[in-house]
């Protein structure tokens, strides 16, 4: 009896092969990003640069995303074997991401409002100091990108479900997403530097708050995108692409048809599914298991 139980028992761990390495990379980048974020925001207030403030708060969006990823790595490892979580702890990052998106949306509104005010009532900007801080911020982003690029293409495994697409299979897409956010932040730093240089040498003082508005728009769009993605995961939104792939594998004309299908995300690149199949007398649970073998990398539980 014990042998039979051991055969069907399983865990709900979503730790990839590079889990530890990616967690360390993320923590280093979080530290660098937070230090530079504080420096840019402080310098923005002291120098009066809205572009620098926007860049600092935009960096906060990435610090939040990276912090959530780091916390998810730690929490997932700590509670990997906890029986309290029926489908593991894979949604922790999505819950934190949704909360961050709400806060960041408010931050973007604040930056936009202040930038509009300074656009019509310009204030004195210490262009030299602000430009120096922005350049240092750009350097930090480049270093962060290099740290993350060393791990963003590493394979990432899981024990329950399937990747969102064949292209993403085996990759830690959370780390890849963090890499993209750092690159985007570097581009925002370039905009801030351009605005400050234009203000200093061309007298285009208006460009600084204008870039502040651009930064606010970038933050708002990123926050909205994050909110849409995380809310879909938290509400167990069905991935139509995954559902269609399951139907193509299981259903055969006059052989078997799916009468009820539920697919939801339980972690990064991890899906769970409940499939009810109506089949001919010649079709049994083992036949369905074989059809799903090339798709499901977890532990399908099937019965007649």
Query: Is the pLDDT reported for residue 95 higher than 70?
Result: yes
Range name among 69-73, 91-95, 104-108 with the lowest pLDDT average? 91-95
pLDDT confidence band for 264 (50 / 70 / 90): confident
Fold type of domain 2-234: Alpha-lytic protease prodomain-like (1.20.1510)
Please report the pLDDT score of residue 168 as a whole number: 38
Query: What average pLDDT does the chain have?
Result: 75
Please report the pLDDT score of residue 50 as a whole number: 74
Query: Is the pLDDT reported for residue 180 higher than 80?
Result: no
Domain edges within the chain = 2-234, 240-292
pLDDT confidence band for 231 (50 / 70 / 90): confident
- How far is the first Cα of the chain from the last one, in angstroms, to the nearest whole number? 21
Query: Is the pLDDT reported for residue 60 higher than 50?
Result: yes
Please report the pLDDT score of residue 268 as a whole number: 67
User: What DSSP string describes the chain?
Assistant: -HHHHHHH--------TTHHHHHHHHHHHHHHHHHHHHHHHHHHHHHT-HHHHHHHHHHHHHHHHHHHHHHHHHHHHHTTT-TT-TTTTTTHHHHHHHHHHHHHHHHHHHHHHHHHHHHHS-----HHHHHHHHHHHHHHHHHHHHHHHTTTTSB---SSS--SSTTTTTB-HHHHHHHHHHHHHHHHHHHHHHHHHHHHHT--TTHHHHHHHHHHHHHHHHHHHHHHHHHHHHTT---HHHHHHHHHHH-BTTTEEEEEEEEEEEETTEEEEEEEEEE-TT--HHHHHHHHTTT--S------
Q: Which pLDDT tens digit goes with each residue over 1-46?
A: 444 545 555 555 545 456 677 778 888 988 988 988 888 888 888 8
Cα 164 to Cα 301: distance, rounded to the nearest angstrom: 21
């Amino acid at each position: 009896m014990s042998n039979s139980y051991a055969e069907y028992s399983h865990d709900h761990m979503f730790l990839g092969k590079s889990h530890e390495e990616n967690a360390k990379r993320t923590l280093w980048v979080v530290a660098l990003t937070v230090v530079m974020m504080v420096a840019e925001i402080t310098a923005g207030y002291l120098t009066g640069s809205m572009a620098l403030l926007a860049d600092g708060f935009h960096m906060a969006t990435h610090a939040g995303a990276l912090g959530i990823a780091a916390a998810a790595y730690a929490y997932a490892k700590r509670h990997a074997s906890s029986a309290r979580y029926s489908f593991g702890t894979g949604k922790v990052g999505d819950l934190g991401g949704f909360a961050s998106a709400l806060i960041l949306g408010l931050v973007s509104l604040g930056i936009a409002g202040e930038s509009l005010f300074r656009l019509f009532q310009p204030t004195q900007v210490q262009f030299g100091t602000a430009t120096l801080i922005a350049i240092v911020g750009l350097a930090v982003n480049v270093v962060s990108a290099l740290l993350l690029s060393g791990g963003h293409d590493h394979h990432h495994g899981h024990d329950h479900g399937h990747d969102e697409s064949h292209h993403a299979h085996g990759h830690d897409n959370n780390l890849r997403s963090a890499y993209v956010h750092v690159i985007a932040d570097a581009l925002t730093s370039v905009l801030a530097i351009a605005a400050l240089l234009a203000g200093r040498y061309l007298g285009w003082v208006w460009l600084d708050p204008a870039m502040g508005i651009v930064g606010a728009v970038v933050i708002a769009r990123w926050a909205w995108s994050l909110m849409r993605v995380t809310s879909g995961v938290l509400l167990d939104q069905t991935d139509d692409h995954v559902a269609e792939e399951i139907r193509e594998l299981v259903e055969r004309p006059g052989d078997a048809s799916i009468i009820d299908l539920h697919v939801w995300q339980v972690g990064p690149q991890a899906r769970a599914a409940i499939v009810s199949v109506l089949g001919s007398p010649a079709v049994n649970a083992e036949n369905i298991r074989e059809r799903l073998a090339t798709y499901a990398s977890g532990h399908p539980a099937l019965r007649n």
